[in-house]
């Protein structure tokens, strides 16, 4: 018979424990397969737009032309955030972490959505549409505000990806970069019951409103063990500095048992299929910018870690250099994750609402028993 300690160790972090049934996404870590509503991620990355994937995650099927056009109109109509939220953001300390700003701003959106507490399908989809449309507006507005610039008003003729880069830079992105960013949003849209998605389902399971559930998801994503890894990949590359210093740096890091950021995954035992696309984009952007430094360094680290540890790059590894070559500030990488993952979060929340059961697991008690109270003066 296993001991309580052995039982607890076996399920630490709920590894391998099935906590919900879902039709939204699935990860096969042994084969390196990721699907959204039955569609392989490679098929979607090759052929879809982010807006199509949003529709897919919410509805279980890809839209026809009319349905896609309608969704895009609804998203574009909701790009702007309430003026009161923008004014509140102006009052924040300029050194506030972008994820903290995003969490607070998203929470405040609830005040300006009179139907935002509705958990029925119609009201919940309306709220999901607003959140998906407004997430990028908040992220880019804060980047402008903290840099002493005026936020750029969203262009209602642009896609979410195009609009994000436009509001960030103040000028429209070239088509190839907009496409790369659009596919990056597809790749990050859902990943089954990761920490932040599970958090949103737990909160939604109480029949709390969608704004509260998403706010909790943002808080979970902000943790360095979840959403912050791609930022730390770029910090690692900059710390190493050049390709010729990689071998010594890696030997020292491995000897010190340091985690090599962006390498390995809690689920994938082979290559993360999302990394396949981001490796391609990192190379493409490096060639376009005439700077292959970060791609070449990344490739050398990838090869070394596969040889030394049998470990593969995950989604964060090449997204770091891709975003860096798009002139995106390092601490905005995790907010970008949220700009994409809002589609998956809201998809899971909609699914939770549709067949809700309060999520209330048990904990295996490992504390003392039979303790007796003693008067305070005798302790």
Give the active site residues: 265, 316
Bridge partners, residue 39, by sequence: 36
Report yes or no: 262 and 294 within 8 Å, Cβ to Cβ.
no
Question: Which of 141, 143, 110 lies closest to 127, judged by CA?
Answer: 110
CA-to-CA distance for 268 and 27, rounded, in angstroms?
Answer: 8
CA-to-CA distance for 277 and 179, rounded, in angstroms?
Answer: 12
CA-to-CA distance for 358 and 118, rounded, in angstroms?
Answer: 17
Report yes or no: 121 and 354 within 8 Å, Cβ to Cβ.
yes
Reduce the DSSP state of residue 236 to 3 states and report it: helix
CA-to-CA distance for 315 and 297, rounded, in angstroms?
Answer: 16
Report yes or no: 367 and 213 within 8 Å, Cβ to Cβ.
no
Angle formed by the axes of helices 160-169 and 175-187, nearest 10°: 120
**Which residue bears the tokens 């964060």?**
316
Report yes or no: 186 and 44 within 8 Å, Cβ to Cβ.
yes
DSSP 8-class letter at 35: E
In sequence order, what E strands does 68-194 have? none
Reduce the DSSP state of residue 256 to 3 states and report it: coil
Reduce the DSSP state of residue 263 to 3 states and report it: strand
Reduce the DSSP state of residue 334 to 3 states and report it: helix
Report yes or no: 124 and 210 within 8 Å, Cβ to Cβ.
yes
């Amino acid at each position: 018979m296993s001991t309580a300690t052995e039982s607890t160790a076996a399920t630490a972090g709920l590894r391998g424990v099935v906590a919900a049934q879902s039709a939204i996404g699935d990860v096969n870590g042994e084969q390196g397969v990721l699907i959204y509503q039955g569609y392989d991620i490679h098929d979607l990355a090759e052929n879809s737009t982010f807006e199509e994937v949003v529709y897919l995650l919410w509805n279980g099927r890809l839209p026809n032309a009319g349905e896609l056009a309608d969704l895009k109109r609804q998203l574009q109509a909701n790009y702007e955030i309430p003026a009161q939220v923008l004014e509140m953001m102006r009052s924040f300390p300029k050194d506030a972490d972008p994820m903290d700003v995003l969490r607070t701003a998203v929470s405040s959106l609830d005040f300006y959505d009179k139907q935002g507490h509705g958990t029925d399908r119609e009201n919940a989809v309306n709220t999901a549409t607003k959140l998906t449309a407004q997430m990028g507006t908040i992220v880019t507005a804060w980047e402008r505000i903290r840099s002493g610039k005026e936020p750029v008003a969203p262009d209602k003729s642009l896609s979410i990806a195009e609009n994000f880069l436009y509001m960030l830079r103040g000028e429209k992105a070239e088509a190839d970069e907009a496409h790369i960013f659009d596919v990056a949003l597809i790749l990050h849209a859902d990943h089954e019951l990761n920490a932040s998605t599970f958090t949103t389902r737990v909160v939604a399971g109480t029949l709390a409103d969608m704004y509260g559930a998403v706010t909790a998801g943002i808080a979970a994503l902000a943790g360095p063990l979840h959403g912050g890894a791609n930022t730390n990949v770029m910090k690692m590359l900059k710390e190493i500095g050049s390709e010729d210093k990689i071998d010594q740096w890696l030997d020292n890091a491995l000897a010190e048992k340091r985690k090599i950021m962006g390498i390995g995954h809690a689920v994938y035992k082979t290559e993360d299929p999302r990394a396949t696309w981001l490796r391609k984009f990192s190379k493409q952007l490096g060639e376009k910018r005439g700077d292959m430094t970060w791609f070449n360094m990344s490739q050398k680290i990838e090869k070394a870690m596969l040889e030394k540890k049998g470990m593969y790059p995950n989604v964060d590894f090449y997204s770091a250099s891709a975003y860096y070559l798009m002139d995106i500030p390092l601490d905005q990488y995790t907010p970008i994750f949220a700009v994409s993952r809002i589609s998956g979060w809201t998809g899971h929340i909609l699914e939770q609402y549709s067949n809700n059961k309060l999520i209330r697991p048990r904990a295996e008690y490992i504390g003392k028993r039979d303790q007796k109270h003693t008067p305070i003066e005798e302790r």
